[in-house]
Amino acid sequence: MKIRIIRYAVLAVAVALTIQVSGQDVLAVQAPMDRQMAKIDSVVLDRLLKIEDYEYPAQDLYPEWSNEYAHKYTNVVIPDSLLIDLTGFCMPTENTKITDIFGYRPRRRRMHYGLDVKVQRGDTIRAAFDGKVRYVSYQRRGYGNYVVIRHPNGLETLYAHLTKKLVDENEVVKAGDPIGLGGNTGRSTGTHLHFETRLLGKALNPALLFDFPNQDVTGDTYLYTKPKKKVYDPSDPDTYYKVRSGDSLGRIAARKGTTVKNLCKLNGITTKTILRPGQVLRLY
């Protein structure tokens, strides 16, 4: 009886050791398989995220996807800062001559929200980054034929005065894909590409991101920082202006780098309002 018990005990220990060894063998085999599966899962996840970026670019920033407007956004909150990835870019045109810069145009009394680059009629215009075409339209007294593309990095780029549009709304494009042909349509005094970069509808100076003369971007990234609100001081000549004899709204706007429309809005007046010497106008 004792011998039988001892045999059972030895057998039990042997079985236990076998199970333990087998378990260790299974774990030894399973570990590299788990690592391999993790790699596969990571690749699949990365691929799915990229597909989502193309299908719904920058969806964490933009409240909607619409084919109804160029860059009008309401009830959007622009982040205080945003690091914009500029890698994987393509220059929209190989031409390097800038014919007009971003900023206020005193002579025309209005803002210019992009860069104008000299191109020839029929020159290929290319997508600056991977993205999805959001808006394609024609504006007789403005952009002419133009295309708006939204990109996963948060930017929207606009290409205007095209002779021909080569893409359709909701079409996914890669950086460098032809999206139009250079031209002179719309409000344009010569063949050129009007190129805009916008964030949630806000125009950014393209020269801060794209270096057309050197056919390069200004860096791998661009840090957008929301401008701080200006503190208005009635004694500040850059904030308020005292009307002098012979002044007009147009002359004041041109001199101070603003617009007649802005002066009217800030001061509760119209373009027909008669200015009086000594009257103080708010500029900004």
Q: Residue range 34-46: average pLDDT?
A: 63
Q: pLDDT at residue 263 above 50?
A: yes
- Give CATH superfamily name and number for 240-282: LysM domain (3.10.350.10)
Rg of the chain taking only CA atoms, in angstroms:
31
Token couple for 234: 């009635």
pLDDT confidence bin for 140, thresholds 50/70/90: very high
Does 53 have pLDDT greater than 80?
A: no
pLDDT at 89: 97
Q: What is the DSSP string of the chain?
A: -HHHHHHHHHHHHHHHHHHHHHHHHHHHHHHHHHHHHHHHHHHHHHHHHHHHHHHSTTTTT-S---SS-SS---S----SEEEEE-TT---S-S---EEE-SEEETTTTEEE-SEEEE--TT-EEE-SSSEEEEEEEEETTTTEEEEEEE-TTSEEEEEEEESEE---TT-EE-TT-EEEE-B--SS-SSSEEEEEEEETTEEE-GGGTEETTTTEES-SEEEEEPPPPPPP-TT-TTTEEE--TT--HHHHHHHHT--HHHHHHHHT--TTPPP-TT-EEE--
User: Across 35-39, 62-66, 206-210, which has the greatest mean pLDDT?
Assistant: 206-210
Q: Can you tell me the distance from the alpha carbon of 258 to that of 242, in angstroms, rounded to the nearest whole number?
A: 15
d(CA 78, CA 267): 27
Instruction: Name the β-bridge partners of 282.
Output: 240
Asked whether the predicted pLDDT for residue 159 surpasses 70, the reply is yes
Phi, psi (rounded to 5 degrees) for 83: -90, 115
Q: Given a cut of 70, is residue 24 above it in pLDDT?
A: no
For the chain, give the percent of residues with pLDDT over 70: 77
Among the listed residues 225, 218, 64, the one whose alpha carbon sits nearest the alpha carbon of residue 150: 64
Looking at residue 2, what is its pLDDT?
Answer: 44
Q: What mean pLDDT is reported for the chain?
A: 84
Asked if residue 5 has pLDDT above 80, the reply is no
pLDDT above 80 (res 121): yes
- CATH homologous superfamily, domain 81-225: Glucose Permease (Domain IIA) (2.70.70.10)
Q: Roughly what angle, to the nearest 10 degrees, separates helices 249-256 and 260-267? A: 110
Does 6 or 127 have the greater pLDDT score? 127
Q: pLDDT band for position 11 (50/70/90)? A: low
CA 194 from centre of chain: 16
Predicted TM-score (pTM) of this structure: 0.67
Model confidence at 67: pLDDT above 70? yes
pLDDT, residue 237, reads 55
If you average pLDDT over residues 39-50, what whole number do you get?
Answer: 58
Q: Which amino acid is at 221?
A: T
> How much is the pLDDT for 130?
98
- Domain assignments of the chain as residue spans, ordered by start: 1-55, 81-225, 240-282
Tokens at 97, concatenated: 């001559």
Contact in structure between 174 and 127 (CB atoms under 8 Å): yes
